[in-house]
């Protein structure tokens, strides 16, 4: 008995750490590998549960499928929702539900294949119950949606619930909701219904206490890593995500168009400035000038007339005339007002 319980605890620790470790790699590898792991654990959980593998201690019976694998799936969905948002959570939920539906279908096909080949199917695959499978899939879906809603409700600023209590109450609430939904859907009306319900409540409470440290440690580690903060979302964010995603895509498209327009305007502005620069050639610095003839010396030491130098180093064009002063000095016989010689 003690050895079986130790093995169960060791299995739970390994699987819990495997799920959390896979999620912690999302920054490097994305979430694809995490979804693959979630799907694989779902298939294992269904088959182990159907096989009825359990560990019994006085007063409590632990189903390996729910104690190890289903709780690991809860932890996985929990951390995905907290750190990656409703959209990633919807993918995780779809993966779990999809695999949960596919496993009995695959099992049924294999039973049929073994039957027509004349081989005994019982030794290969556990028996199936449509009622239990239906209750399991329905309960799993409700559990995972409830997880997101409960987490956001307890995270409202007006409640001021501390992180550890928020995480524990959410986890325990999901585990107990699963007991009510699954046990009622699978065993309501049977003689063992109340016994199964009460016994499972106790076992899920123990599982919650055992799994909580792993969850809280991971939440605290990830929230403290690189200043990552836990976002507070609307209570029904998990259900409204489709509308929100469409709105975000629309806003993103508009933002992309706006940035393209700004970029086009910037290109036009740059081209205008380049054209202006080509038209402007500014002389800077000191110009050595002869104090008598006003010629200008260039960088090579050669002297140039003022007009020639300016034409060479700018786009200035000269046209010649005579100012009034020079006209009087050099052509005194010319009448300035009439422009005729006297």
246 inside domain: no
Task: Quote the CA–CA distance of 248 and 262 in Å, as a whole number.
Answer: 21
Mind listing the pLDDT tens digit for each residue in 218-246?
998 888 775 667 777 777 777 765 445 55
Average pLDDT (135-143) is 87
Residues 183 and 40 in one domain: yes
pLDDT value at residue 319: 73
Percent residues over pLDDT 90 in the chain: 17
Average pLDDT (183-192) is 83
Mark which of 185, 214, 239 sits at the end of a domain.
Answer: 239
Residues 323 and 208 in one domain: no
The pTM of the whole model exceeds 0.75? no
Mind listing the pLDDT tens digit for each residue in 277-327?
655 555 556 678 887 787 888 777 888 887 777 777 766 677 777 787 777
Average pLDDT (20-42) is 92
Residues 227 and 308 in one domain: no
Percent residues over pLDDT 70 in the chain: 83
pLDDT value at residue 300: 78
Residue 32 binned pLDDT confidence (cut-offs 50, 70, 90): very high
Tokens standing for residue 81: 């929702």
28 inside domain: yes
The least confident of 23-27, 97-101, 188-192, 255-259 is 255-259
262 inside domain: no
Task: Quote the CA–CA distance of 92 and 99 in Å, as a whole number.
Answer: 11
**Containing domain of residue 117, as a range?**
2-239
Residues 98 and 159 in one domain: yes
Task: Quote the CA–CA distance of 41 and 47 in Å, as a whole number.
Answer: 10
Residues 224 and 301 in one domain: no
Number of domains making up the chain:
2
Mark which of 224, 239, 254 sits at the end of a domain.
Answer: 239
261 inside domain: no
Exposure string of 215-229, with b = 16+ CB inside 10 Å and e = fewer, is bbebbeebeeeeeee
Residues 301 and 182 in one domain: no
Residues 209 and 135 in one domain: yes
297 inside domain: yes
Task: Quote the CA–CA distance of 27 and 81 in Å, as a whole number.
Answer: 15
Residues 202 and 306 in one domain: no
248 inside domain: no
Angle at 257 between CA 256 and CA 263, to 5 degrees: 90
Q: Which residue has the higher pLDDT, 274 or 194?
A: 194
Indicate the burial class of 306 (C-beta count within 10 angstroms; 0-12, 13-18, 19 or more). middle
Mark which of 184, 205, 239 sits at the end of a domain.
Answer: 239
Task: Quote the CA–CA distance of 178 and 73 in Å, as a whole number.
Answer: 13
pLDDT value at residue 132: 78
Residues 42 and 174 in one domain: yes
251 inside domain: no
pLDDT value at residue 342: 45
Which CATH number is 100's domain given?
1.10.1760
294 inside domain: yes
CB 234 within 8 A of CB 240: yes
Residues 103 and 219 in one domain: yes
Residues 66 and 208 in one domain: yes
The least confident of 114-118, 174-178, 205-209, 245-249 is 245-249
CB 303 within 8 A of CB 295: yes
Residues 6 and 98 in one domain: yes
CA dihedral 21, 24, 29, 31 (to 10 degrees): 90
């Amino acid at each position: 008995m003690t050895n079986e319980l130790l093995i169960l605890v060791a299995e739970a620790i390994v699987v819990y750490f495997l799920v959390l470790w896979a999620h912690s790699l999302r920054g490097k590898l994305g979430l694809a590998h995490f979804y693959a792991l979630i799907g694989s654990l779902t298939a294992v959980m269904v088959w182990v549960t159907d096989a009825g593998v359990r560990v019994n201690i006085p007063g409590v019976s632990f189903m390996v499928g729910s104690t190890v694998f289903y709780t690991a799936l809860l932890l996985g969905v929990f951390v995905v929702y907290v750190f990656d948002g409703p959209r990633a959570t919807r993918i995780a939920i779809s993966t779990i539900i999809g695999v949960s539906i596919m496993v009995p279908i695959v099992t049924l096909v294999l039973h049929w294949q073994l039957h027509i080949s004349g081989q005994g199917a019982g030794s290969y695959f556990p028996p199936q119950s449509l009622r239990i499978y239906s209750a399991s899939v329905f309960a799993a879906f409700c559990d995972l949606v409830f997880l997101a809603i409960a987490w956001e409700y307890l995270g409202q600023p007006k409640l001021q619930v501390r992180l550890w209590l928020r995480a524990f109450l959410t986890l325990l609430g999901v585990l107990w909701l699963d007991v009510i939904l699954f046990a009622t859907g699978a065993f309501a009306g049977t003689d063992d219904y109340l016994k199964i319900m009460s016994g499972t409540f106790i076992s899920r409470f123990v599982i919650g206490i055992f799994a909580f440290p792993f969850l809280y440690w991971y939440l605290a580690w990830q929230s403290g890593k690189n200043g990552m903060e836990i976002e507070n979302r609307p209570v029904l964010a998990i259900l409204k995500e489709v509308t929100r995603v469409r709105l975000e895509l629309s806003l993103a498209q508009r933002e992309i168009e706006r940035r393209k327009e700004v970029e086009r305007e910037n290109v036009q502005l740059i081209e205008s400035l380049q054209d202006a620069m080509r038209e402007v050639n500014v002389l800077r610095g000191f110009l050595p000038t002869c104090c008598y003839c006003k010629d200008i010396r260039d960088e090579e030491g050669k002297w140039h007339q003022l007009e020639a130098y300016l034409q060479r180093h700018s786009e200035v064009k000269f046209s010649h005339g005579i100012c009034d002063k020079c006209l009087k000095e050099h052509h005194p016989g010319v009448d300035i007002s009439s422009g005729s010689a006297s």
